[in-house]
Amino acid sequence: MPTKMLINGCSFLTTRPKCGVNTHCGEELSKLMQLPIADNLAGGGRGNKRLMWTTRVWCEKFPEQAKDCFFLIGSSGGNRFDYPTGDGFKKHKFPTMETTWKTWDPNRDSNTQSFFRYLSKKGLDIEQATQIESLLAIHDLQDFFKLRGYPYVMYNTLSDADISNPDIKLLYDKIDKVRFFKPETSHLDYTVQNKQHCAPDDPHPSTEGHKDWAIQLKEFIDANNLRSIKQS
C-alpha cells in the first residue's frame, strides 16, 4: 500500500496565491488519503508530453520512493505542445528535474497562432493533433504504471474537442476508465458549471472548488479500490 503521493499536471494542481488560493486538489486529496506529498511536478501552462516525461524521469531517479507512491495525474489540454528548452526555464521550481520545458499553445500566443496557421495550410488538422498529443501521453503513463505496479488515478484538468476520427476514438475507448475519474468532463468544466472560480475573470478553482474535487476523487478511489496495485 502506498505511503506517499506524487502529483503531476498543470496549474490546476498548483496554488494560486494572487487569488488567495493557497491549496489545490492534490494537496487536499493527500490530506484526505493521509499520504504526504513526495513531490509535485505540476507546471502552469504545460501539457501532457511534459507530464508523461517528468513522471517517468522522476520514477527512474527515485525508484524506491516511486514504489511507495500513489500517483495523482491531471491530464492537461492536448492543445499544449510541450518542448524541452536549453535555457533552464523555471528550473528553480523543479529541482529534481534537469530538463526544462516551454509550450506552444495556439490559444494563448499570437506567434504560436501564426505558426499553427502556417501548418494548417500545409494540411495540419489541429483537433486531431491535440487529441493524439493527449492520448499518446495518457496511454504511455497508464502502460508504465501497469508495468511497474504503481497505483494511480487520472482525470482531465482541461477538456479537448469532441472526437470524430474513428482511429482516435478507438484509442480513446481503450483508456483504463477504472482509474480515470469522470473522463467525459474536466475539472475546468466542473469549476465553470458550479461557479467555483477563484476570481470572476479566472477559471482556476477556488479553495472550495479544490476541496470539492478532492472529496469526489477520494470517493472514486475508495469505490474502485485504487490504492491497490491489483486494479492496475
Residue 218: HSE in the Cβ half-sphere, 13 Å Cα cutoff:
17
pLDDT tens-digit map of 72-107: 999 998 888 899 999 999 999 999 999 999 998 877
pLDDT in the model for residue 231: 41
pLDDT in the model for residue 230: 58
pLDDT in the model for residue 109: 75
pLDDT in the model for residue 11: 96
Q: Is residue 148 within 8 Å of 156, Cβ to Cβ?
A: no
Rounded distance between C-alpha atoms, residue 114 and residue 4, angstroms: 43
The whole-model pTM stands at 0.93
Q: Is residue 81 within 8 Å of 133, Cβ to Cβ?
A: yes
pLDDT in the model for residue 118: 75
pLDDT tens-digit map of 38-67: 999 999 999 999 999 999 999 999 999 999
CATH of 4-231, one of 3.40.50.1110, 3.40.440.10, 3.30.465.10, 3.40.50.2300: 3.40.50.1110
- Residue 26: which of 225, 226, 213, 220 has the closest Cα? 213
Which residues lie across from 39 on neighbouring strands?
A: 6
Judge residue 18's burial from the number of C-beta atoms within 10 Å of its C-beta, 0-12 exposed, 13-18 middle, 19 or more buried.
Answer: exposed
Rounded distance between C-alpha atoms, residue 180 and residue 174, angstroms: 11
Rounded distance between C-alpha atoms, residue 109 and residue 193, angstroms: 26
- Collect the ranges in the chain with pLDDT lower than 50: 231-232
Rounded distance between C-alpha atoms, residue 20 and residue 141, angstroms: 33
Rounded distance between C-alpha atoms, residue 93 and residue 97, angstroms: 9
Q: What is the residue extent of each domain of the chain?
A: 4-231
